[in-house]
Amino acid sequence: MVLAFSPQSALGQLLLLRSIAIVLQLILVLISIVLLDKNIPHQPVFTIIALESLFQLFSIIMYRRNREISERAMTLQLVADIVFLSLLLSFLGGASNAFVSLLLLPCIIAAVTVSIGYVLFVSSSALLAYGYLYVAVTMPMHHHGMHMGEHLLGMFVNFVFMVVVTVGVVAILVKRIREREALLAKTREKQLQQEQLLALGSAAAQVTHQLATPIAHLNLLLEELQEDFPEHPAVAEMNSPISQCRVQLEGFRAQTELLKLKRQEQSQSSSYVLEQLEELMTLQYPEQSLTISEQTSPVVVNGDPMLVPALLNLIVNAAKANERAGKCKIELTAYAQRGNWHLMIKDQGKGIAQQKLENLGKFVVESDTGFGMALLLTNATLERVDGELQLENLDEGGVLSTVVLPIIGEL
């Protein structure tokens, strides 16, 4: 039989512990019968152990294809252990049996593996089982011995105290461990993302450095062509793209210098940001109709040298989505609300697949139109200035990109 779960999983450990418990129960009962008390009821005890063994085999077959089980299923398994142990102890002395404290073990396992609601259910089941063993089994056997009755009552009170304290402490420790693990996982994810961005930045800087010489050479050739063929239409058409490449290269160098000087954080007015975006989009996508609406007074936002290029990436993505859909309208809406500046970018494209929408901006997402690098870099820039990026599909088609930046002052 092939088992999907491993011995290191919660399910594997539970089934392993139960298998060991069944073997130990059988050995201890046989030793008790042979050496200690031959009046032990053989048939009920061995019947309970046999039923527990069948339940164990059924559980293995039932969950053999599962790596883990739900919290409800884990809770039922633990309650089953409490039931079997209670039935076994009911024929072996009840609460006076030295092994009655084993009822605490399912409570501890529950505190480690399931949520607090299920933990309370398992703990209540253990307390009810102990109470049944104390009231229905043990007290009728020792009603003549006052001293023994007080001792058993003290054991019962001690068990209740142990359940409350142990389960409470374990649950708190497990919660803190899980919170720390979640924080470490988030930190590792953030570190991997930063390493990825650093690699992308290094590659971009290398490519830009390598393109500087060819662009300068092309610019010199263009000047010679303008002197020799000043009226040729191809020469005039070449001037605009080469000038644009030169401007972009100079802008990248200026941003790099600002970053080298560690001047990442700069206050920028919202009106200046919108003006820059409008100017850059007019140069790069003159065929697109960009509508800008600033609904509140201009404010000063937290930013860095990469803020405008990061926001431009979103508008460029909107322009490309419009081109694929045969549309040409992009709407920008800006307003201040509750200490934050909101910039909403709306396109008329076909939208983004829902399964990719949640990962865009956080991971590299491969698609027919690219890998989501622009959104990844944009999101990293916004996070660096305590901003936020939200993406959602519109019912009428297209994507609504919302950028939220903290306001640091008024104009």
Contact (Cβ atoms closer than 8 angstroms) between residue 274 and residue 294: yes
Residue 281 and residue 359 in contact, taking contact as beta carbons nearer than 8 Å: no
Calpha distance 24→38 (Å, rounded): 18
Domain 266-410 has CATH 2.130.10.10: no
**15-50 pLDDT per residue, tens:** 888 888 889 888 888 887 777 666 778 888 899 999
How far apart are alpha carbons 330 and 361 in whole angstroms?
20
pLDDT of residue 180: 87
> What per-residue confidence (pLDDT) applies to 371?
47
CB 381 within 8 A of CB 308: no
The domain spans of the chain are 10-188, 196-260, 266-410
Which stretch of DSSP H or E encloses residue 83?
A: helix 71-90
Residue in the structure block whose two tokens are 């990844």:
376
* Per-residue confidence (pLDDT) for residue 223, from 0 to 100: 83
Cβ neighbours of residue 33 under 8 Å, at least 6 residues apart?
A: 40, 42
DSSP letter string, 291-327: EEEE-S--EEEEE-TTHHHHHHHHHHHHHHHHHHHT-
Buried b (16+ CB within 10 A) or exposed e, 141-154: ebeeeeeeeeebee
* Residue pair 329/348 in contact by the 8 Å Cβ criterion: yes
Q: In a structure prediction context, what are the per-residue pLDDT tens digits for the chain, which is 411 residues long?
A: 556 666 667 778 888 888 888 898 888 888 877 776 667 788 888 999 999 999 999 988 888 777 778 888 899 999 999 999 999 888 888 878 878 888 898 988 888 888 888 999 999 999 999 888 887 766 655 555 556 677 777 788 888 888 888 888 888 888 888 888 888 877 777 776 666 666 666 666 667 767 777 888 888 888 888 888 878 888 778 877 887 787 777 767 666 665 555 554 567 888 888 888 888 888 788 888 888 888 888 888 876 777 888 888 888 888 888 888 888 899 999 999 888 899 999 988 888 777 666 666 565 555 555 546 677 778 878 887 888 888 888 888 888 889 999 888 776
Q: Phi and psi for 343 in degrees, rounded to 5?
A: -125, 115
Residue of 165, 138, 163, 132 whose CA lies nearest to 152 = 138
Query: How confident is the model over 222-266, as pLDDT tens digits?
Result: 888 888 887 888 877 887 788 778 777 776 766 666 555 555 456
74: Cα within 13 Å, side-chain hemisphere? 25
Tally of CB atoms within 10 A around 8: 7
- Give residues with Cβ within 8 angstroms of 276, minimum separation 6: 308
Return the structure tokens found at 39. Answer: 């009046």
CA distance 54 to 58: 6
How far apart are the C-alpha atoms of 389 and 391, rounded to whole Å? 7
Question: Residue 202 is which amino acid?
Answer: S
First to last CA, the chain: 73
Instruction: Compute the CA torsion angle 52, 53, 56, 57 (nearest 10 deg).
Output: -140
Residue whose token pair is 């000047």: 223
